[in-house]
């Protein structure tokens, strides 16, 4: 921003408004029209409290989103305007009337042609069909324009869930697929698939009325309706949708009244031939704390699990995301990340984005050494968690043997040598004792582990290529 940094937070109301308008304008330029309208348009400035700019948005979901995706940028832009503003607080708060200039260049909300109450598609940054936030906004949370089927990478761990999601998107309320219950661990793509289904149904024939929301939002709406004695309107508006999608259903655990309401909504919609799609972190039968009758109903359509990622899927996701960003990332870096960051796709993506941002900022190519430096903290956090199982898995992957051979009695060199490498690395990288390591490798004696450790050290001395190979494995496993 050309303007010089200000000297402190004591801005007059007028100049505060001007600064805020410039910040919004700048963000709009940076993120593009679609993203701005989806996430940032409703953002208003509540004021400046001490060294903190307070920004409000109408829902908690939007607040979380803006905080995590744009929080740093907002802070940086505020600091450029006024160096006394050191923090930005994003809170739920009442909306003010649209701020001046807010909608002038972006008339989609008023002017976009609608079909059955739905805005027409806009062109997304990645070419995907996107729409402005749902105009019946009360119900549907905004959909992320990046979360479409086109950008979802399919591999063994998610192919079943993906196929079910596609089927529901093509033909909602098909027998056997209603409800569709998607479950899996954190950051594995449940929300991405849910949004993809919603985009596809909204973009399909017949302009179906899709309501997508988090379970948390469902609860807050319900409580608000109870307070304002408008539960009838609440029920009616919910039951008028064609497709109801509720994300993170585990949130309803222990919330008995909301569960009951959800149960009735669920039954009314399914009975009326409407589609329900739900996601959670566990299968219906494992969602302890949900009423039995609800668990039973949730499990009686299609239940699809998204499993933890495999090395191959991580590779494919990284290749796809690097290509989408238009940045050349060497194979060695892709392989390194796929080996190192195994927790979930969100972390993997975050690491790649950081590398790309770094490369763009400094105009440098992405390299393996650079990646280790830039991702130092993430890699260290992963390192602390290196376990014997992890070592066994990585070594088995590397030498292309079965994981079970790490503890099997097979003595063929092709299996025994990698097993010895894994024992050597377990000794080097964990604090486990020799007997403990032996136990984890099929109850072998500690002298076997001792022998493996010295044998691998000898081989590394004698054979530089072998030493390099073991070093590469160690680097992948290490901080």
Ligand X SMILES: Nc1ncnc2c1ncn2[C@@H]1O[C@H](COP(=O)(O)OP(=O)(O)OP(=O)(O)O)[C@@H](O)[C@H]1O
Residues that bind ligand X (CB under 6 A): 147, 151-153, 158, 184, 186-192, 248, 281, 317, 345-346, 349
Instruction: Between 80 and 279, name the residue whose CB sits nearer to ligand X.
Output: 279
**Contacting residues for 451 by C-beta, under 8 A, at least 6 apart:** none
Instruction: Between 20 and 147, name the residue whose CB sits nearer to ligand X.
Output: 147
Q: What is the DSSP string of 178-225?
A: SSEEEEESTTSSHHHHHHHHHHHHHHSTT---EEEEEHHHHHHHHHHH
Report, in Å, the least distance between residue 158 CB and ligand X: 5
Report, in Å, the least distance between residue 223 CB and ligand X: 22
Say whether 274 counts as a known binding-site residue. no
Report, in Å, the least distance between residue 63 CB and ligand X: 16
Instruction: Between 77 and 348, name the residue whose CB sits nearer to ligand X.
Output: 348
- The answer to whether 368 touches 332, Cβ cutoff 8 Å, is yes
Report, in Å, the least distance between residue 304 CB and ligand X: 13
Report, in Å, the least distance between residue 160 CB and ligand X: 13
Instruction: Between 45 and 318, name the residue whose CB sits nearer to ligand X.
Output: 318
**Contacting residues for 241 by C-beta, under 8 A, at least 6 apart:** 139, 209, 210, 211, 269, 274
- The answer to whether 250 touches 215, Cβ cutoff 8 Å, is yes
Q: Which of 158, 133, 151, 448 lies closest to 307, judged by CA?
A: 158
Q: What is the DSSP string of 134-194?
A: PTTTTSPPPPPTT-SSTTPPP-GGGHHHHHHHHHHHHSTT-TT-SSEEEEESTTSSHHHHH
**What gap in Å lies between CA 276 and CA 262, rounded to an integer?**
11
Encoding tokens for residue 355? 């590398």
**Contacting residues for 112 by C-beta, under 8 A, at least 6 apart:** 119, 120, 122, 132
Say whether 191 counts as a known binding-site residue. yes
Say whether 189 counts as a known binding-site residue. yes
DSSP state of 273: T
Instruction: Between 132 and 153, name the residue whose CB sits nearer to ligand X.
Output: 153
Instruction: Between 188 and 391, name the residue whose CB sits nearer to ligand X.
Output: 188
Report, in Å, the least distance between residue 194 CB and ligand X: 8
| Binding-site entries for ATP | 187, 189-191
| Binding-site entries | 187, 189-191
């Amino acid at each position: 921003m050309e303007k010089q940094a200000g000297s402190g937070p004591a801005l007059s109301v007028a100049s505060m408004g001007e600064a805020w308008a410039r910040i919004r304008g700048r963000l709009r330029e940076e993120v593009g029209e679609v993203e701005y309208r989806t996430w940032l348009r409703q953002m208003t400035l509540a004021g400046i409290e001490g060294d903190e700019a307070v920004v409000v948005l109408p829902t908690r979901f939007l607040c979380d989103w803006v905080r995590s995706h744009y929080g740093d940028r907002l802070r940086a832009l505020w600091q450029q305007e006024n160096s006394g503003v050191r923090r930005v607080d994003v809170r739920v708060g009442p909306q003010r009337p649209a701020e001046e200039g807010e909608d002038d260049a972006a008339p989609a909300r008023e002017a976009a042609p609608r079909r059955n109450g739905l805005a027409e598609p806009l062109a997304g940054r990645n070419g995907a069909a996107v729409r402005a936030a749902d105009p019946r906004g009360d119900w549907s949370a905004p959909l992320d324009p990046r979360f479409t089927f086109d950008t979802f990478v399919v591999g063994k761990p998610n192919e079943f869930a993906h196929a079910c999601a596609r089927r529901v998107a093509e033909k909602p309320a098909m027998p056997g697929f209603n409800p569709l219950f998607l479950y899996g661990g954190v950051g594995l793509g449940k929300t991405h698939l849910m949004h993809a289904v919603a985009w596809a149904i909204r973009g399909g024939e017949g302009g179906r009325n899709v309501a997508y929301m988090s379970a948390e939002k469902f609860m807050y709406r319900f409580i608000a309706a109870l307070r304002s004695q408008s539960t009838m309107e609440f029920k009616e508006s919910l039951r008028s949708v064609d497709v109801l999608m509720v994300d993170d259903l585990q949130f309803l655990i222990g919330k008995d009244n909301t569960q009951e309401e959800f149960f009735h909504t669920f039954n009314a919609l399914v009975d009326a031939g409407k589609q329900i799609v739900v996601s959670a972190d566990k299968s219906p039968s494992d969602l302890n704390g949900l009423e039995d009758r609800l668990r039973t109903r949730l499990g009686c359509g299609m239940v699809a699990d998204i499993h933890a990622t495999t090395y191959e899927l991580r590779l494919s996701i990284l290749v796809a995301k690097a290509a989408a960003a238009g940045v050349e990332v060497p194979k060695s870096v892709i392989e390194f990340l796929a080996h190192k960051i195994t927790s979930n796709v969100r972390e993997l993506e975050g690491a790649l984005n950081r590398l790309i941002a770094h490369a763009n900022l400094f105009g440098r190519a992405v390299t393996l050494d650079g990646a280790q430096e830039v991702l130092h903290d993430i890699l260290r956090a992963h390192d602390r968690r290196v376990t014997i199982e992890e070592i066994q898995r990585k070594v088995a992957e590397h030498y292309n043997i079965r994981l079970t051979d790490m503890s099997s009695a097979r003595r063929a060199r092709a299996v025994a040598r990698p097993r010895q490498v894994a024992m050597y690395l377990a000794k080097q990288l964990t604090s486990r004792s020799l007997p403990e390591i032996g136990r984890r490798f099929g109850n072998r004696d500690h002298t076997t582990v001792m022998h493996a450790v010295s044998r691998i050290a000898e081989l590394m001395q004698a054979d530089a290529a072998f030493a390099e190979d073991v070093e590469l494995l160690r680097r992948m496993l290490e901080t």
